[in-house]
Amino acid sequence: MLCFVLASAFLVALAFGAADIPFQDVKAFIFSRYQNENTLILKELRLPRVLASALAGMALAVSGAYMQGMTRNALASPSLFGITAGASAVLALSLALFSRDGSIWCFTGLSDWEHSIRASCFLYKFAGQT
């Protein structure tokens, strides 16, 4: 049932957008080598976005299930460990210190992600020591 819902959402995401593409063209794109004017839109724009969003959703589901299993709490979230607050603090600090640089957006995104990973590893290490 869940695979059917995922396949249906995949097809709907490929078909609907700024330029609506008929389901026949989507079906022909997936199952044959038929080429038309919609093939470029499907191959270059929509398929990578749909695959990336599906992978991101899968990664979020796995990380949420891991956190719930690790804490044995069905309502576990990143804010439970302070990961969200730590990442926000690093983001605010990097914006305050490096706001004049042109590459600030790349730096803050990577720094935010890196420090949230470090905070979660730090907490996981000390959570095992009781």
> How confident is the model over 69-96, as pLDDT tens digits?
878 888 888 777 777 777 777 777 777 7
Contact 90, 112 (CB under 8 A): yes
Q: Select from 46, 73, 100 the last residue of a domain.
A: 73
The residue segments making up the domain with residue 109 are 77-130
Q: What is the pLDDT of residue 101?
A: 55
- Shared domain for 44 and 90, answered yes or no, is no
What is the C-alpha separation between 17 and 46, in angstroms, rounded?
Answer: 9
Q: Which domain-ending residue is among 73, 100, 120? A: 73
Residue 109 sits in the same domain as residue 124: yes
Query: Which residues neighbour 128 within 8 Å (Cβ) at sequence distance 6 or greater?
Result: none
pLDDT tens digits for 42-72? Answer: 989 999 999 999 999 998 889 888 888 878 8
Split into its structural domains, the chain has a count of 2
Q: Is 110 found in the same domain as 92?
A: yes
User: 38 in helix, strand or coil?
Assistant: coil
Query: Residue 98 pLDDT more than 70?
Result: no
Q: Are 34 and 28 in contact (CB under 8 A)?
A: yes
Please tell me whether residues 5 and 37 are part of one structural domain.
yes
